[in-house]
Chains A and B, each alone.
Chain A
Amino acid sequence: MKSYTQIPPGTQIVIGCAARRRRVLERTICSVFEGWSYEEIIPPIFDYYDVFVKGMGSGPEEQIYRFIDREGNILALRPEFTSLVAKTVATRLANSPKPIRLYYSGEVLRFEKPKGGRQREFAQIGIEHYGGSGKTADVEVLLIAVETFQRLGIQGFQINLGSVDFFGGIVDGMEFPADQITQLKDVLNVKDQSGLEALLEHLPLGDRRKKILRAVPHLTGDKAVIAEARELVKNPRSVDALDHLEEIYSIFERLDLAQHLTIDLGEIRGFDYYSGILFRAYVRDLGFEVASGGRYDGLPAAFGEDLPAVGFSFSVDRLEQIVTPTLEIPDVEAASIDVDDGFDKALQLRRSGKAVKLCL
């Protein structure tokens, strides 16, 4: 046994004022979710390993903390919520009227390098909307993300909105091996121009396709980006994605919220389960994204119920770093009671709802 002062890497302990701040932050966010008729779901902290692999896809599965129970089943500590919620919706809630709106708040665990204020155990808070396809549900979750930032008093936030179908439509027609697609994604993912050029030299692609791929990393900005992208792609999947993004953008313009929205078609990262819109939220002067989400229509089907789904999650640990000055943490005023007078006074005050602090 190591010394008790030693803690396992990746854990953290939140105490006193910091814990109060976290709870205020969580309650503020939950009240926004409840205001949009989302109900809380409290899923288990562990489930069968397969559930999460189905959800997260290959790659991130090595970050999952696994263990074996006494019957030999492989279990895992939850590395995220979406798989658990999707499984519950597809099974226990299969016969419930749709749409189903749920929110969650709690810790998840991933074996990864702690960074950006996020340890191996970190807090996530988010929403999931099941049974609504199309723009109404997409806009609903985006508006909830916007309101959450506003309610937390965060000014310089920006939501980057893209679609996996835009890039998907471009790659669909390319018939080369999976490892070359992976290489292509790797260079586009870091916007590496010279790496892309080196790859394009060897890939059997026409000039038009090459032009599209060269443009992809730079397709970020306001509505004009959509028009720019329309000039490049003709395949129906990409074009539908652009139509969809344009509709969402127009709604945000009409609501006078478009200043918070950035169209980002150059972003191609994310869990395998994303299927439509994809978004990430950034706040100026924080080096990491604070929220991410998107559409994952295929996920409930993987658990046996074909349902459209969309949602997002906030990283509570990262939000804490930005809201510290803006979030008001009420101090609890407690009356100091001398115990020599007996406990009557203290009980009396407690019955009337007052806070007390006993003096020793």
Chain B
Amino acid sequence: MLVIALCKGRFLAPSLDLLTEAGICFPEDIASSRKLIFNSEDHSFRAVLVKPADVPTYVEYGAADMGIAGRDVILESRADVLQPLDLKFGYCKIAVAGANGISEGAPPNTSRPTIRVATKYPRITMDYYNSRGIPVEIIPLSGSIELAPLIGLADRIVDLVETGRTLKDNGLEIVEVIAESSARLLINRAGYQTKRDEVLQLIQALEKVIR
């Protein structure tokens, strides 16, 4: 039996749709139930429901053989996992945004030697600014990131942008896109080797659905 870690929240429905199309059906109450573990109808898979940011951890440790999570979450976690498939949903961008679109070379407030950036992705943000040699102070937040530049908590934000609507409604715009993100299939390195036939079967089934 293979264990697959799925994200609670907005990724759950498309993940389940994809698996159903690949012939792996979980009970219908999976999205509404409070249970966290579900077996597929033919008992060849077990789904565990976890917070999106935790999916890479479950897979890296082999507690789950595989998982479905956004590329943003994988990059932020730095988990050492295989990522063979782009599942082609959950498209968005990880982007730097600010009140105006001036370039990163000139911090908006020159009275401070470092710019302040609010984000849910402190590691991605740090890597991005370090690689450009721009000193930065990261302010980790867990929600409503767009608020930070509006009330003077930060000069910039690094956040997930889907349509850009939220940014626009708050008078912000994208300064630069750091990376494109979409849902990915994650696989534990050791499990890929020791359960290869089962794993490859699933990859092939998913590939057929995506194409």
User: Which A residues fall within an 8 A CB radius of B?
Assistant: 115-116, 156, 158, 160, 190-195, 217, 220-221, 262, 264, 280, 282-289
B209 to chain A, nearest CB (A): 15
Q: Nearest Cβ distance between residue A60 and chain B, in whole angstroms?
A: 13
- 7 nearest CB pairs, A to B: A287-B62, A194-B86, A284-B194, A191-B84, A282-B190, A190-B83, A192-B83
Task: Determine whether the beta carbon of A193 is less than 8 Å from that of B190.
Answer: no
B88 to chain A, nearest CB (A): 9
B60 — which chain A residues lie within 8 A by C-beta? 115, 287
B92 on interface, CB distance cutoff 8 Å: no
* Chain A interface, >50% SS class: mixed
Contact A191 B83 (CB under 8 A): yes
Q: Is the CB of B194 within 8 A of A190?
A: no
Query: Which residues of A are found within 8 Å of B189, using beta-carbon distances?
Result: 287-289
Within the complex, the shortest CB–CB distance from B186 to chain A, in Å, comes to 9
Q: How far is the CA of A286 from the CA of B63 in the complex (A)?
A: 9
B61 within 8 A of A: yes
A284 contact set on B, CB distance < 8 A: 194-195
A160 to B193, CA, bound (A): 8
B interface residues with partner A (beta carbon < 8 Å): 60-63, 81-86, 188-196
Contacts of B62 in A (CB 8 A): 285-288
Contact count A vs B, C-beta below 8 Å: 56
Q: Cα distance A156–B193 when bound, in Å?
A: 12
- Whether A288 pairs with B83 at a CB distance below 8 angstroms is no
A194 and B86 alpha carbons, distance in the complex (Å): 6
| Minimal Cβ-Cβ distance residue in A for B182 | A194
Q: Is the CB of A221 within 8 A of B196?
A: yes
Q: Are B86 and A282 in contact (CB under 8 A)?
A: no
Neighbouring A residues of B195 by C-beta, 8 Å: 284
The reply to whether A286 and B190 form a contact with Cβ atoms under 8 Å apart is yes
Q: How far is the CB of B54 from chain A (nearest CB, A)?
A: 14
Asked if residues A287 and B82 are in contact (CB atoms below 8 Å), the reply is no
B84 A283 Cβ-Cβ under 8 A: no
Closest A residue by C-beta to B187: A191
Q: Which residues of A contact B81 (CB under 8 A)?
A: 190
A190 to chain B, nearest CB (A): 5
Instruction: Collect the chain B residues with CB atoms within 8 Å of residue A282's CB.
Output: 190, 193-194
Q: Which residues of B contact A160 (CB under 8 A)?
A: 193
Q: Is the CB of B82 within 8 A of A193?
A: no
| CB pairs A–B below 8 angstroms (5 shown) | A191-B84, A191-B192, A282-B194, A287-B60, A287-B189
